Amino acid sequence: MEISIDGGKGQGYASGMSEEKANMGRNGELFPILPSGLPKGIARLAAEAAPTGEGHEVRFYALEAKSILNRTVSKRGLDFTWSINPYRGCEFGCRYCYARYTHEFMEKRDPELFEQEIYVKQQAVWLLQRDLRRVKPGEEIAIGTATDPYQPVERRLGVTRGLLEVLAEREGLEIGIVTKSALIARDAEVLRAVARGNRLVIGVTITTANVGLARILEPRAPRPDLRFEAVRRLRKAGLAVGILNSPLLPGITDNGPALHRMAVLAKEVDASFFSAQPLFLKPCSKGTYLAFVEKHFPALKEDYARRFETAEFASPAYARRMRDLVRAVVRKHGLTGRLSDAPLTRGGGRWLAEAQETAQQELWPLKPVVADGACGDGTQERIPAKAVAGARGLAYSSSKAS
C-alpha cells in the first residue's frame, strides 16, 4: 500500500465539520440544491478517492484534503478550538462510537462502513505546516476527536507521527490527544519533544478493564491491559497521561465495583488523571449499540429503549449521579479528576467537594443479568460467560438454564 502523507500541495478541497454542516439542507439532507448523482465537497472527494489496499474486512482509500485543521463544532461544549483527524473512519469498530455520522457527509449511510472503509488524508504533514499559522495563542488543538489517530493503519503509515514531528518544531501550543490504542507508546520520544515546548495532555480511553467485555464492545481495539501499560510507559517518559473510563455503560459498567477496579489500575500505572462520562447515543450509533445490548445483555433492552427513545444524552439526574460516583472513586483512591473527557480542559484538578454517596441500585434497580463468575478479574461487570469464553478462545458449557 502506497499512500503519500507529505510533500506536494494537496489538490481539491475537503471540509472541516463546520463546512460540512454548511452543505446540509434544512431537513438534514446533503447538498439539497444540487442535482442527484452529482455530489460535491467531501462526498465528491470520497467518490474519487483511489483504493490503496485492503486489510481484514477493511479497505483503504487516499483522500485529498484542503486542510488538516478543522474548527470544532460540538453540542457537548468540548473545550478546544481546533481538531485534527488524520483518518476518516476507524478500524476499532466500537459499538458505541459517536463518530459514525462523519461518513454520512461522504454519502455513506451504512454505519458499518465507518469501520470498513478508512480514508487516509493526503499531504497531512505539509498541510499542518501551512495551517498552523491559523492557530492563535491560547487556542487548543485536539487530535483524535472523531477517529482514533493510532488505529492499526497508523502502524504502517505513520501519519500521526509525522504530524507530531511538525508540532515538536513549534512552541506555545496547547495540544490534546485522545486514543484507545497502545500504539501511542511507540511515539514516546516524539511526544516528549512536543511537550518540551508546548502544553501536551494525553487521554487514553479504557472503557473497561475486563478483556471479555472489551472484545465484544471494542472488537478491534487493543486489550485493556495493553492500554494500561501504554499509560505506564508514557508516564515514565514524563508525559501528562490520564485515563478516560468512558463511556459509562448503563447497567454494565456504571457501578461502584467496576469504577473501583478501574481506579485501582489507574493508580497502579500512575495516571495523571481519571475521568468518566455517561454514554450518549447519536442516531448514527444508536442502532449499532442497541443491537449489541440486545445480543449480549437482552435483560437491559427495554431499559435502554426507554432511556434513549427520544434523547441522545443521559438524563440530568443520571448524569449527576454518575458524576458523584466518579468523584467518590477519584477521592477514595487519591487520583486527580477532570470535569470532562475533552483532551484539554481548564476545569481539571483534584476534586475538592465532597461526593454524594449514591447507591448503585438507585441508578439501575435491576437484578444482575449474569452473575456466574464470568469476569474473572474481581469486578462485577455484567457480561455473559459465553461471551467471555468465546473471547478467550475457550469452549463454553453450562448446566444453568439460559
Interval 305-350: pLDDT, tens: 999 988 888 889 999 999 999 999 999 999 988 777 777 755 443 3
Domain final position from 117, 133, 149: 133
The grid cell for 140 is 487548543
Domain final position from 116, 133, 150: 133
The answer to whether position 155 is within a domain reads no
Return d(Cα 219, Cα 232) in angstroms, integer: 23
The answer to whether position 375 is within a domain reads yes
Order of strands, sheet of 117-121, starting from the edge strand that comes earlier in the sequence: 50-55, 58-63, 117-121, 87-88
Domain match, 99 and 212 both: no
Domain match, 215 and 118 both: no
Local structure of residue 223 (DSSP, 8 states): P
The answer to whether position 148 is within a domain reads no
Domain match, 126 and 219 both: no
How many domains, in total, are found in the chain? 2
Domain match, 279 and 374 both: yes
Write down the mean pLDDT value for the chain: 76
The answer to whether position 159 is within a domain reads no
Domain match, 127 and 177 both: no
pTM: 0.75
Domain final position from 110, 133, 156: 133
Considering Cα of 170, then 176, then 180, then 185, what sign does the dihedral take? positive
The answer to whether position 292 is within a domain reads yes
Domain match, 346 and 271 both: yes
The answer to whether position 158 is within a domain reads no
The answer to whether position 90 is within a domain reads yes
Domain match, 104 and 195 both: no
Considering Cα of 189, then 191, then 193, then 196, what sign does the dihedral take? negative
More confident site: 177 or 393: 177
Considering Cα of 72, then 73, then 76, then 81, what sign does the dihedral take? positive
Domain hosting residue 53, numbered range: 1-133
Domain match, 357 and 237 both: yes
CA distances from 29 to 288, 314, 361 (A): 22, 27, 42
Domain match, 13 and 85 both: yes
- Give the pLDDT confidence of 91-136 residue by residue, as tens digits: 998 999 886 756 455 555 666 767 778 888 989 999 999 999 999 8
Please say if the pLDDT value at position 15 is more than 50.
Answer: no
